[in-house]
Amino acid sequence: MTSEDHLPALAPGPRGPVNKQPFTLMKPRKNSTACLPCKQAKRKCTGRPAPCNACRNTDAECIFDETLDLRRKVAARRTLGELEYYRGLLFSLLESLRSSDEDKVSHILETIRGSALLSNVASAVDAPADLSDASSENTKPLGSTDDAVAQQERLAADTHSRITLEKLCDIPIFQVPAKPWTVVTDDDHLVSHLISLYFTWDHPSSQIVDQRMFLSHMKEGNKNTEFCSPFLVNSILAIASTYSDFPEVFAIPGDVASKGVHFFNEAEILWKAEEGRPSLANIQALALMSHALRLKGKPGISWLMLRQAVQLGQDFGFFQAPRTGHHRWQDTSVDMRFAGAETAWGLFILNSQMSMECKKTANLKLPIFNPPGRDNVGDGIVWIPYPRSNHIEYEKKPALLREIMIQTAHFAELLVNMQDLLFDKAFDMDIGDLCRAVSAVYARLETWLRGLPGPLEIDKEAIQVPQVLSLHIKYHHAIILLFDFLVNHEDFAPMSHPSQVNQARSIRLQSAKQIADYLLLYHESYGLRHVPGQMLEPTNASSLTLLTVLDDCEDEFKEAFVELCRFLVAFSKRFSLARDMLANIESTAKSMGIKLPTEAGAVFDHRDLDSSQWL
């Protein structure tokens, strides 16, 4: 953003009548699809009409193929058709292999071994030979009501088969034992699956434990260690269960709200047995339990659990005040100091985020350590989207964990200063001083964003690891909250110039739109089945912001709102909190007389569908 985007040093605007005009955002011209030569060369494309400037200068053949743009309906229909075809082929194959006709089974196996063409395999199992044949099969209308009932029963059976098949084909990234860490299960594969999910989707955006040390000590199975404990493991398994569809993660079969509850209950029992003892693993486990409760829509008890972790961290000497526990770090090992630094900053970051959501001041001094990895950024840890990597070949990418931790730590400091302004100092300011203070906070946040190192910048032409997208989403979420406070202040609109009010609203809306754009990038890269829980609150805040202008905005903002609703529906299949958010959007729209876009209504209708039929 340029300096012109900043709110000016605002003083109360001139009195008197002003011309009120409807607030409408101007739609900037942009190119959603690059031509094929520009895609291949990874360069900017000026778009239609052909030839683009680059192709004109190089005398290249300029071709635009909209079917390669995954955001367009034609590509979505093509992708849906392909998925339906391959799903049908898979079940035809399984059905044929169950056949008692040994000759037919032998013929199928010989075809699979001797031919690389899927059409030959499809012919052998009596399935449609290609996608066009499958499409014609799918257009046949359903017959009687009995046919519809039979189809629903088949879908339910397919869901069970899918989960069983997924588990059979599942290869966890990290192999760890269930014993002696949990009494809930003795299934090493299940525990390895959940630990792999946690370190893939949740940990990179909210680092509380040191990944290498934790996994190393968990594999050893020795409970006499500072870096792993049954209490900590069960806390992690409770969070990880929200990312899994395995039947074993449901405490009550089919009840989404019960995912991981048995692990969480075990963690609570273990915490009571600790009798408040301050230790590294106990602090980590409490912070993670707080995170789990937050995702379940229990902010009050989540906040109390977090404050227990903060108090233990202060007793343990993590923070600049009180200083009574600082002496314990003088003679500790290098590993212990590094893990302590990661936990201290992880706790500080989590405290700043939850304080913001609860509209409280952070009330916590900085850690006594430098952010971990500041002097040695490269850690060699790679990231791959498990469990999708079991089925699709993905390039392993640097996880960027230390870079993410360093920049998130700096951002958390800015967030704490922002909370001090909004939830403390603002009560003693007139509206002019408050506007100037908000402008100063906004400038510092922008400076932080511009200062991000290259690996953490967004490249829309490349697939981003989720934690980089999450970092940028956090920034725009903070902008929304900052200007929400200003726009909703009782003195802002009456005592400010209309241009200043419109500018504040515009900045807030542009950040909401940007969050939707980043979520779309995520959707195109990884789908909707596994979305980091840290993206839930920003998604909700953005959707509520865009909701207010749906009756008078450009189509791109309506499309952004629909995409945000799509993510909230996906979240609702894992978190009961997201269901409450969707209900709140509907009730708010009704009370304000806002008509939701038709596409949003269609997305809302998917709430009651099984995940396998939609995600």
Given this model, what pLDDT does residue 68 score?
Answer: 56
Please tell me the distance from the alpha carbon of residue 437 to that of residue 194, in angstroms, as a whole number: 45
Question: If we measure between CA atoms, which residue out of 614, 510, 568 comes closest to residue 2?
Answer: 510
pLDDT band at 362 (very low <50, low <70, confident <90, very high): very high
Q: pTM for the complete prediction? A: 0.76
Last-in-domain residue among 329, 358, 387: 358
Taking only the tens place, the pLDDT of each residue in 295-331 is 888 999 999 999 999 999 999 999 998 888 787 787 8
The answer, yes or no, to whether residue 230 has pLDDT greater than 70, is yes
With 0-12 CB in 10 A as exposed, 13-18 as middle and 19+ as buried, what is 74? exposed
- CA distance between the termini of the chain: 35
Given this model, what pLDDT does residue 59 score?
Answer: 80
Do residues 430 and 344 both lie within one domain?
no
The answer, yes or no, to whether residue 160 has pLDDT greater than 60, is no
Query: What residue type is assigned to position 77 of the chain?
Result: R
List Cα–Cα distances, 304 to 294, 300, 363, in angstroms. Answer: 11, 7, 14
Mean pLDDT for all residues in the chain = 84
Given this model, what pLDDT does residue 18 score?
Answer: 42
Please tell me the distance from the alpha carbon of residue 234 to that of residue 265, in angstroms, as a whole number: 9
Give domain status of residue 375, yes or no: no
Structure tokens at 2: 């340029």
Please tell me the distance from the alpha carbon of residue 580 to that of residue 583, in angstroms, as a whole number: 5
CB 283 within 8 A of CB 230: no
Given this model, what pLDDT does residue 464 score?
Answer: 92
Do residues 431 and 518 both lie within one domain?
yes
Please tell me the distance from the alpha carbon of residue 245 to that of residue 487, in angstroms, as a whole number: 41
Q: Do you know the residue count of the chain? A: 615
Taking only the tens place, the pLDDT of each residue in 48-87 is 888 888 888 888 888 877 655 544 555 555 555 666 667 7
Q: Of 130-134, 138-142, 262-266, 308-312, which gets the smallest average pLDDT?
A: 138-142
Name residues whose C-beta falls within 8 Å of residue 258's C-beta, 6 or more positions apart in sequence. 250, 251, 252
Of the ranges 161-165, 245-249, 535-539, the best mean pLDDT one? 535-539
Given this model, what pLDDT does residue 82 score?
Answer: 65
Per the structure, the complete domain to which residue 574 belongs is given by 425-606
Task: Give the count of alpha carbons within 13 A of 458, CB side only.
Answer: 19
Give domain status of residue 518, yes or no: yes
Do residues 346 and 442 both lie within one domain?
no
Please tell me the distance from the alpha carbon of residue 571 to that of residue 369, in angstroms, as a whole number: 35
Taking only the tens place, the pLDDT of each residue in 5-23 is 455 555 444 444 444 444 4
Give domain status of residue 128, yes or no: no
Q: Name which residue leads in pLDDT, 106 or 599.
A: 599
The answer, yes or no, to whether residue 277 has pLDDT greater than 90, is yes
CB 303 within 8 A of CB 355: no
Sign of CA dihedral 170, 175, 177, 182: negative
Do residues 214 and 305 both lie within one domain?
yes
CB 243 within 8 A of CB 198: yes
Mean pLDDT of 536-544: 97
Give domain status of residue 149, yes or no: no
Other C-beta atoms within 10 Å of 413: how many?
16
Q: How far is CA 272 from the centre of its chain?
A: 32
List Cα–Cα distances, 200 to 234, 235, 418, in angstroms. Answer: 17, 16, 31
Region of 153 on the Ramachandran plot (φ > 0 left; ψ -120 to 50 alpha; else beta): alpha
What letter would DSSP give residue 464?
A: P
pLDDT band at 139 (very low <50, low <70, confident <90, very high): very low
Question: If we measure between CA atoms, which residue out of 463, 507, 208 comes closest to residue 344?
Answer: 208
Q: How far is CA 73 from the centre of its chain?
A: 24
Question: If we measure between CA atoms, which residue out of 477, 489, 595 comes closest to residue 205?
Answer: 477
Please tell me the distance from the alpha carbon of residue 266 to that of residue 125, in angstroms, as a whole number: 48
Give domain status of residue 541, yes or no: yes
Question: If we measure between CA atoms, which residue out of 590, 589, 609 comes closest to residue 549?
Answer: 589
Given this model, what pLDDT does residue 38 score?
Answer: 83
CB 235 within 8 A of CB 267: yes
Structure tokens at 376: 């040695």
Please tell me the distance from the alpha carbon of residue 26 to that of residue 553, in angstroms, as a whole number: 8
Last-in-domain residue among 304, 325, 358: 358
Name residues whose C-beta falls within 8 Å of residue 400's C-beta, 6 or more positions apart in sequence. 204, 383, 455, 456, 465, 467, 468
Last-in-domain residue among 335, 358, 381: 358
Q: How far is CA 351 from the centre of its chain?
A: 19
Do residues 347 and 484 both lie within one domain?
no
Do residues 430 and 287 both lie within one domain?
no
Q: How far is CA 120 from the centre of its chain?
A: 40
List Cα–Cα distances, 228 to 211, 240, 588, in angstroms. Answer: 11, 16, 45
Do residues 350 and 437 both lie within one domain?
no
Region of 317 on the Ramachandran plot (φ > 0 left; ψ -120 to 50 alpha; else beta): left
* Helices (H), ranges, 125-144: 131-138
Q: Name which residue leads in pLDDT, 395 or 120.
A: 395
Give domain status of residue 415, yes or no: no
Q: What is the 3-state secondary structure (H, E, C) of 555-595?
A: HHHHHHHHHHHHHHHHHHCCCHHHHHHHHHHHHHHHHHCCC
The answer, yes or no, to whether residue 93 has pLDDT greater than 50, is yes
Do residues 346 and 270 both lie within one domain?
yes
Given this model, what pLDDT does residue 201 score?
Answer: 97
List Cα–Cα distances, 451 to 376, 448, 457, 482, in angstroms. Answer: 18, 5, 10, 20
Give domain status of residue 166, yes or no: no
Please tell me the distance from the alpha carbon of residue 230 to that of residue 236, in angstroms, as a whole number: 10
Q: Which residues of 509-533 are buried (b: 16+ CB within 10 A; e: fewer)?
A: bbbbbbbbbbbbbbbebbebbbbbb
Taking only the tens place, the pLDDT of each residue in 394-449 is 788 999 999 999 999 999 999 999 999 999 999 999 999 999 999 999 999 999 99
CB 135 within 8 A of CB 78: no
Do residues 353 and 431 both lie within one domain?
no
Helix (H) or strand (E) holding 383: strand 382-383
Please tell me the distance from the alpha carbon of residue 185 to that of residue 193, in angstroms, as a whole number: 13
Q: How many domains does the chain have?
A: 2
List Cα–Cα distances, 158 to 11, 170, 388, 607, in angstroms. Answer: 64, 18, 19, 19
The answer, yes or no, to whether residue 460 has pLDDT greater than 90, is no
Name residues whose C-beta falls within 8 Å of residue 221's C-beta, 6 or more positions apart in sequence. 177, 179, 180, 181
Do residues 354 and 463 both lie within one domain?
no
Mean pLDDT of 538-554: 93
The answer, yes or no, to whether residue 42 has pLDDT greater than 90, is no
Given this model, what pLDDT does residue 197 score?
Answer: 98
Sign of CA dihedral 486, 492, 498, 499: negative
Give domain status of residue 293, yes or no: yes
Given this model, what pLDDT does residue 115 score?
Answer: 64
Q: Name which residue leads in pLDDT, 96 or 395.
A: 395
